[in-house]
């Protein structure tokens, strides 16, 4: 629907006609929402996958950020070092038990193995470290899966859209018009763009999570080495 023109009474007739023609010729603006709706059911699938990936990213980000923060916390290791130097191993064990962080879980396992050969203690710590990293990586692969599926589903929409366009063209017979093909072509192009957008966003999110996990892994390795050095120190 064209906007209603408010025409002053003293406006010349030629100018009035020119303004009315310009208003009639003004093209309809296509919003992003309307453009997405032209993609059909494929766009609903892509939107659902994107929401799922965002949810997993936010949930994992909060968990991983907590692990990163505790990984650089020197206060915990300082208390552990002080307790061991004072010969108060039970106090160190209690501290590790009441601290719910990957670092504390590793140190707690090492403390529970005191009295055994150092290689056994180190192996126990490394096993716990691997379990902690696996816990942090939980569901992160889902974001990578969405990053791969997005463009593929978008390409599926491209194929179905072109099939629809050719189907409409075949049924039109000799009365082929651009408007007949528009629906299928819209679906084909819009789903391609939508799939690529979802894939790019999720690939970016996945790499952010991986980089944060790698930071945690580095922190665990540093703390494990620090604990083993502590055990090697003279009593």
**pLDDT tens for each residue of 117-127:** 888 888 998 89
In this prediction, what percent of the chain has a pLDDT beyond 90? Answer: 20
pLDDT given at position 97: 85
Phi, psi for residue 25 in degrees, rounded to 5: -85, -5
Give the per-residue pLDDT at 69.
72
* pLDDT bucket at 22, cuts 50 / 70 / 90: very low
Kindly state the average pLDDT of the residues 193-210.
94
Q: Can you tell me whether residue 87 is helix, strand or coil?
A: coil
Strand partners, 116: 114
CB 190 within 8 A of CB 36: yes
Distance of alpha carbon 165 from alpha carbon 159, whole angstroms: 10
Q: What is the DSSP letter of 7?
A: -
The confidence score (pLDDT) of residue 89 equals 85
Residue 17 pLDDT more than 90? no
Q: List the structure tokens of 93.
A: 């064990």
Q: What is the mean pLDDT of the chain?
A: 79
pLDDT per residue as tens digits for the range 29-78: 655 566 556 667 888 899 999 999 999 999 999 988 887 776 556 778 88
Phi first, then psi, for residue 118 (nearest 5°) are -60, -40
Question: What's the whole-number mean pLDDT along residues 79-87?
Answer: 83
Residue 183 clears pLDDT 90, i.e. is over it: no
Most confident of 7-11, 22-26, 90-94, 180-184: 90-94
Worst-scoring range by mean pLDDT, 196-200, 201-205, 215-219? 215-219
pLDDT value of position 66 = 81
The stretch 72-99 carries a mean pLDDT of 82
Q: What is the reported pLDDT for 211?
A: 92
**Tokens for 157?**
């929409």
Q: Which of 200 and 11 is assigned the larger pLDDT?
A: 200
pLDDT, residue 21, reads 47
Q: Rounded mean pLDDT of 80-109?
A: 85
Instruction: Measure the CA–CA gap between 192 and 39, rounded to whole angstroms.
Output: 9
Other CB atoms within a 10 A radius of the CB of residue 118 amount to: 13
DSSP for 201-232, written as a single string: HHHHHHHHHHHHHHHHHHHHHHHHHHHHHHHH
- Residue 1 is predicted with a pLDDT of 43
Model confidence at 80: pLDDT above 80: yes
Question: What's the whole-number mean pLDDT along residues 74-84?
Answer: 82
């Amino acid at each position: 629907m064209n906007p209603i023109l408010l025409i002053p009474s003293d406006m010349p007739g030629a100018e009035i006609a020119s303004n009315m023609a310009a208003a009639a010729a003004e093209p309809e603006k296509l919003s992003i929402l309307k453009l997405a709706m032209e993609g059909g059911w494929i766009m609903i699938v892509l939107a659902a996958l994107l929401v799922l990936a965002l949810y997993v990213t936010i949930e994992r980000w909060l968990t991983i950020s907590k692990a990163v923060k505790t990984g650089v916390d020197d206060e915990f290791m300082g208390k552990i070092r002080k307790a061991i130097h004072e010969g108060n191993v039970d106090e160190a064990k209690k501290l590790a038990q009441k601290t719910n962080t990957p670092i504390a879980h590793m140190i707690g396992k090492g403390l529970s193995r005191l009295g055994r050969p150092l290689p056994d203690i180190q192996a126990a710590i490394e096993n716990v470290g691997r379990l902690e990293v696996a816990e942090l990586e939980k569901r992160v692969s889902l974001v990578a899966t969405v990053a791969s599926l997005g463009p593929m589903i978008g390409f599926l929409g491209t194929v179905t859209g072109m099939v629809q366009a050719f189907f409409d063209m075949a049924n039109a017979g000799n009365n082929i018009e651009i408007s007949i093909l528009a629906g299928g072509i819209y679906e084909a192009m819009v789903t391609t763009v939508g799939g690529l957008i979802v894939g790019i966003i999720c690939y970016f999110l996945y790499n952010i999570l991986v980089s944060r996990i790698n930071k945690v892994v580095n922190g665990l390795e540093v703390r494990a080495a620090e604990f083993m050095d502590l055990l090697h120190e003279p009593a």
